[in-house]
Structure 1
Amino acid sequence: MGTTADERTPDHDEIVRVVQCYVDGFQGRLDKLQEAFHEDAWILALDAEGGFSKDLISDRFARWAASHRQVRGRVIQVTQAGEVASVLLGFDNTENLADSWVDVLALIRLDGVWKITHKSAVHSSRADWAKP
């Protein structure tokens, strides 16, 4: 059975904590990125111009951690069904809101630990409804 928008998922706080580790990783915290993502997680993304990219997320860790971008994670929705979950996240660039992103993160609980296994991202200019 799912939850309504007004209800919290059973593991809501832990799922959001893992997503916050991902956001914190952009402040030079490679360890937080490693904590948040499964080693085999993938990203598929559309940039502002519509360019498509896909990568193993761990290949981006060093660049993301070194960026020191001032970002804020805005959790829009958390859905959990047992051992799987998804988070709709506004990934807001606080220095330039026009350069923000919308992420759909898939998570799985392995041996009691939540990990992000997939990230689909679109530049906020392509998802006007999600702007802060």
Structure 2
Amino acid sequence: MKIGELAARTGVSRRLLRYYEEQGLITPSRALNGYREYGEPHVDVVLQIKGLLDAGLPTRIIQQLLPCLDKPQEIYAPDVKPEMIATLQREQARLSQRIEFLTRNRDAIAGYLDTVLKRQSANTESRAAS
């Protein structure tokens, strides 16, 4: 498949796919005309990269992790160095803090929305009774 189809299937822009290639995260083959060609496995790899970036991991760490990722959500680790373990532990702790912060914000917004909706409902009922 060409870069446009990969972009459409993964929701990742062509420009970002070229950046992934620059960073050594994906390696397309080249057609005789020089166009990039991607196989079906690239879809899973790009989605995995996208998920790891969304989680806040930098590309340098993703590059080290990709060889350990067989399929999305299936991880094997044949040879993990202590530095990688330390880096991943720091990233995990950072993400846990971020999740806690987002959860508090979500709960605060839900409480505010609940209060606003109850008041709105009470006001509507009050007007209907008048």
TM-score scaled by length of structure 1: 0.27
TM-score scaled by length of structure 2: 0.27
Greater relative contact order (Cα 8 A, min sep 6): structure 1 or 2?
1
| Structure index of larger Rg | 2
